[in-house]
Structure 1
Amino acid sequence: MESNFGIYIHIPFCKQKCFYCDFPSFAGRERLIDSYLAELSREMELTALKYGQDGKMAPYTVYIGGGTPSLLDTAQLARLFSAANEHIRFDQVAEFTIEANPGTLTKDKLRLMKASGVNRISIGVQSFDDNCLKKIGRIHRAGDAIECIKLAQSLGFYNISLDLMYGLPGQNMDTLKQSIEQAIALQVQHISVYGLQLEDGTVFARQQAMGKLQLPTDELVENMYDYIAATLPAGGYNRYEISNYALSGYESKHNSLYWQDVPYLGFGAGAHAYWQVNRYENPTNIDAYMAMVRRGEILSNIEEKVDEKAHMEEFCFLGLRMTKGIDKEKFRETFNKDIYAVFGDGIKEMLDKGFLQEKDGALSLTTIGMKYGNIVFGAFITGE
């Protein structure tokens, strides 16, 4: 097994479900955590025995996400790290990330993370405005987030990422600016900023259907986008992907695998894998997931068989998310075809409109193209 792949481990437990969230996560199911951790370890063991070397997997990156991994108590976190170490060779892991919520992160948990080899923490802040946080269902307040980040820095974490959001209910330009300025002032290494998307099945989607969700106007959301895209680079954070900014050298290695057509394994309820040119997904339901593992099934539920057409399209969609764009030579090496022979008409149209640019052997989004990325992505759908 090559080490050029990533591992994602999903912890589907939350103290409270955020109003915008459609991820596979569940509040009030803490009684299942210990059983879940046992099956999670078993799933990793079965996969390592089948695809690993000497019974262990040797990935390039490991990412523990959720849900809220920091909801686990210290004993449960210790079990999680022990299981990971039992089935993963960490000597080749370049980046080991864990997500955390300021409302559930403690000094003891941070110390355990540090001692267990975690070298990157991704903290879900979303906003530094208490009114916004309350309106989106977050359990923490701005002061908690600031205290949490400073505590992590004091304990020797030098690769910290913050998640922020814009276009939120109750958010205006002043509160957005306050959040961006606070993130920069905290001198974290990485900042992700996502526009609110109304997803089916969420509290916000139900509120919208009832006419009870008051959102910023489209014009204000566009102004927020422009402010973010100008301010973070001015503060030293290079934009390397549509929603991600980092100090030089601190780009997310794990997430970059997703955008560069690199395989990854996923463990846990609702986790996805991209392995041997197929996409797999585990059951989202926690009980169904645990039953699957007890049956000894791994990489069994094929979400999508990735044929060449789908592979080429996805290669381009994901590549365009990154500012460096689609490497034309890598496309040729992967598919034994020239990218213009497949997508030439769409590429020419996007170049003419100024949404796409060609330089340094790559096709990449322009500044305006970044803003309207979905239009450009549509040019890389080939039809039948």
Structure 2
Amino acid sequence: MDPYVQYMYSYPHKTAYRPLEGISLRDYAGQLEGKGHGLYIHVPFCQGKCGYCNLFSVTGQDPDAMGRYLDAVERQGRQYQEILKPYRTEFSEFTIGGGTPLLLPMGQLERMFGVVRDCFVLEDGAEIGIETAPNQTERRKLEFLKGAGVFRVSMGIQSFIDEELRALRRGHRASRAREALELLMSVGFGCVNVDFIYGIPGQTVDSLQESLREAIGFGVDEIFLYPLYVKHGAALVREGVVPDPDYAYRQYQEMSGYLRSEGFRQDSMRRFVREQRKENGHRAPGCREEGQRDTGKKGTGIRRRFAECGFGTSLALGCGGRSYVGRLHFCTPYAVTQEGCLKQLRRFEATEDFSAVQHGILLSEEEQKRRYVIRHLLIRPGIALGRYEELFGAPVCSDFPVLEKWIGEGWLRTEEDSQTAGGMRPGDGQKPEGSQEFLALTEEGMGLSDYLGPMLASAKIQRKMKEWEAVYEPRGGFVPGEPEKL
């Protein structure tokens, strides 16, 4: 068994998207009525392409090129503003990802936030997050972000060992990562997350633990621990690098246990959250849950919203970000290589009518059900059994018999929710009024998330993904060019 089949951070995968005709955002904008939605801006610019990267990003772009991109983002934002006006849309989350957003010059960073303020309404207390990289982490930009209301900053460090960084083709040295993280912590954001990778060629359990120990010593709030995937057009594919899944799984088992022993709560295969956070007047007492929002009302906050995250709505600006608007999911065609990403970038910049949805998927009721299960099962606290039956009219194990098998294998179990009912934790020995029963991954099952999750994809979606791979994989790790061929 290979524990590392696919990272199911969303469903369906972009390779299952296809060209669409006659679809307008205006026809689905009612799904964005009122409060509780997510807003995302994709900034595709990077200093260099890391060896494992299969994200939408481009390198070698000067400030003028970045300015042209922001021109298109602003045009898109103003068109979306007009579309959403009748629905009084307010966003509870605003995230800027990439790429490396802080590669933008200071003036363009300010401009991007200005576009958001001019075009959209953020709820009071909306959580704002942004990604950064060590080489682009500067005090002036961080202080601007803090003043602009940014709560969560995520930095991709990957390792504190120079040899491991070189193996990943990262563009920074370990010393620079330490300097950047120290600077980031000093500014006082509400939540600081750092990313690390395991399964790196030459990495040992001890060297991985040393990197994590350093991060813990800085006082970070969250650690995302990612397995090394080498696929989909990444440079390491062309270099013939093949990760060892058995050794990577051993690293995961030891390091997930280590992080839990150091006071981190494990919410998913990748996400570890410090249980006791510093409260020194500068740092907020908590970080958001993965894929969840807090309404701010006692007893109806993060955990209640979590029960609906399979239906979450999010609107993306820029080239490379995904929008989820009801059953309509859309984005620019999937691209990874410099050539493919630049081609899509130029198309985006030339777009005049952003209301026309040209590439995506309309989810059937069956696919929406699968998305709901995948989105809940792989993240704590799991699937609320009563809520699932209320939504879909049948027990989840009746709709997905494979879950019974997983229970028998020891990968799933039922348990009481740890927080919805007065903060009770599983095993407290009593069932408080209003508690919910959840189907949740066991410790072993959580470590197999990338093996179990893909099994829940429908045959139709799997077929579309294989069709895509058949066109692009033979080119030496897919070079996206003309997805409309499919």
Pair in the same fold by TM > 0.5: yes
Structure 1 equivalent of residue 430 of structure 2:
none
Correspondence 1:364 to 2:413: no
Q: Is the 8 A contact 2:267 2:380 kept in 1?
A: yes
Measure how far apart 1:86 and its partner are. Answer: 1.1
Q: Is the 8 A contact 2:137 2:184 kept in 1?
A: no
Correspondence 1:279 to 2:329: yes
Tell me the secondary structure at the aligned position of residue 354 of structure 2.
Answer: coil
Measure how far apart 1:174 and its partner are. Answer: 2.0
Q: Which moved more, 1:159-168 or 1:132-141?
A: 132-141
Change (3 A) 1:128 1:52: farther
Q: Which moved more, 1:8-17 or 1:167-176?
A: 167-176
Give me the TM-score of the superposition, normalised by structure 1: 0.91
Q: Give the Cα–Cα distance (whole angstroms) in 2 for the partners of residues 106 and 379 of structure 1.
A: 43
Of residues 360, 364, 370, the one that matches 1:313 is 370
Change (3 A) 1:382 1:203: closer
Correspondence 1:164 to 2:202: no
Structure 2 equivalent of residue 102 of structure 1:
134
Q: Deviations over 1:152-189 (max 9, x none)?
A: 22222231100111001231222101111111111111
Q: Give the Cα–Cα distance (whole angstroms) in 1 for the partners of residues 357 and 442 of structure 2.
A: 40
Measure how far apart 1:38 and its partner are. Answer: 1.4
Change (3 A) 1:78 1:308: same
Q: Give the Cα–Cα distance (whole angstroms) in 1 for the partners of residues 155 and 265 of structure 2.
A: 19
Q: Give the Cα–Cα distance (whole angstroms) in 2 for the partners of residues 250 and 196 of structure 1.
A: 28
Of residues 157, 161, 165, the one that matches 1:125 is 157
Q: Determine which structure has greater relative contact order: mean sequence separation of CA pairs < 8 Å that are 6+ residues apart, divided by chain length.
A: 2
Q: Give the Cα–Cα distance (whole angstroms) in 2 for the partners of residues 53 and 253 of structure 1.
A: 30
Measure how far apart 1:378 and its partner are. Answer: 5.4
Tell me the secondary structure at the aligned position of residue 49 of structure 2.
Answer: coil
Q: Deviations over 1:329-352 (max 9, x none)?
A: 222233233323312x21221111
Structure 2 equivalent of residue 240 of structure 1:
267
Q: Is the 8 A contact 1:170 1:214 kept in 2?
A: no
Q: Give the Cα–Cα distance (whole angstroms) in 1 for the partners of residues 372 and 207 of structure 2.
A: 37
Which residues in structure 2 correspond to 1:1-384 (within 5 Å)? 1-30=33-62, 31-52=64-85, 57-208=89-240, 213=241, 215=243, 217-248=244-275, 250-253=286-289, 255-256=291-292, 260-261=309-310, 262-283=312-333, 285-292=344-351, 295-298=352-355, 300-343=357-400, 345-360=401-416, 361-377=437-453, 380=456
The letter for the 2-side match of 1:264 is S
Q: Deviations over 1:29-54 (max 9, x none)?
A: 23410011111122122112212468
Q: Give the Cα–Cα distance (whole angstroms) in 2 for the partners of residues 378 and 152 of structure 1.
A: 36
Q: Deviations over 1:47-102 (max 9, x none)?
A: 12212468x74111111000000111111111111111112223435310010011
Tell me the secondary structure at the aligned position of residue 241 of structure 1.
Answer: coil
Q: Give the Cα–Cα distance (whole angstroms) in 2 for the partners of residues 264 and 128 of structure 1.
A: 34
Q: Give the Cα–Cα distance (whole angstroms) in 2 for the partners of residues 256 and 146 of structure 1.
A: 30
Q: Give the Cα–Cα distance (whole angstroms) in 2 for the partners of residues 147 and 205 of structure 1.
A: 31
Change (3 A) 1:3 1:75: same
Measure how far apart 1:320 and its partner are. Answer: 1.3
Measure how far apart 1:366 and its partner are. Answer: 0.8
Q: Give the Cα–Cα distance (whole angstroms) in 2 for the partners of residues 157 and 339 of structure 1.
A: 40
Measure how far apart 1:121 and its partner are. Answer: 0.6
Q: Give the Cα–Cα distance (whole angstroms) in 2 for the partners of residues 223 and 33 of structure 1.
A: 42
Measure how far apart 1:302 and its partner are. Answer: 4.2
Q: Is the 8 A contact 2:165 2:173 kept in 1?
A: yes
Q: Which moved more, 1:145-154 or 1:114-123?
A: 145-154
The letter for the 2-side match of 1:301 is Q
Tell me the secondary structure at the aligned position of residue 256 of structure 1.
Answer: coil
Q: Give the Cα–Cα distance (whole angstroms) in 2 for the partners of residues 375 and 220 of structure 1.
A: 16
Q: Give the Cα–Cα distance (whole angstroms) in 1 for the partners of residues 83 and 367 of structure 2.
A: 27
Q: Deviations over 1:306-348 (max 9, x none)?
A: 11111111111111110211112222233233323312x2122
Measure how far apart 1:287 and its partner are. Answer: 0.8
Structure 1: give runs of 5+ residues left out of the alignment.
none
Q: Is the 8 A contact 2:67 2:108 kept in 1?
A: yes
Structure 1 equivalent of residue 336 of structure 2:
none
User: Please, what is the CA RMSD of the aligned residues?
Assistant: 2.1
Q: Is the 8 A contact 1:163 1:193 kept in 2?
A: yes
Give me the TM-score of the superposition, normalised by structure 2: 0.73
Q: Deviations over 1:247-286 (max 9, x none)?
A: 2464444633699211111111111111021111125511
Percent sequence identity over matched residues?
Answer: 26
Tell me the secondary structure at the aligned position of residue 233 of structure 1.
Answer: helix
The letter for the 2-side match of 1:288 is R
Q: Which moved more, 1:69-78 or 1:259-268?
A: 259-268
Change (3 A) 1:374 1:131: closer
Change (3 A) 1:382 1:157: closer
Tell me the secondary structure at the aligned position of residue 161 of structure 1.
Answer: strand
Tell me the secondary structure at the aligned position of residue 200 of structure 2.
Answer: coil
Q: Is the 8 A contact 1:48 1:57 kept in 2?
A: no
Change (3 A) 1:250 1:20: farther
Aligned residues: 375
Q: Give the Cα–Cα distance (whole angstroms) in 2 for the partners of residues 133 and 378 of structure 1.
A: 29
Q: Which moved more, 1:153-162 or 1:258-267?
A: 258-267
The letter for the 1-side match of 2:346 is D
Q: Deviations over 1:205-246 (max 9, x none)?
A: 1112xxxx364x444212210122101111111111221011
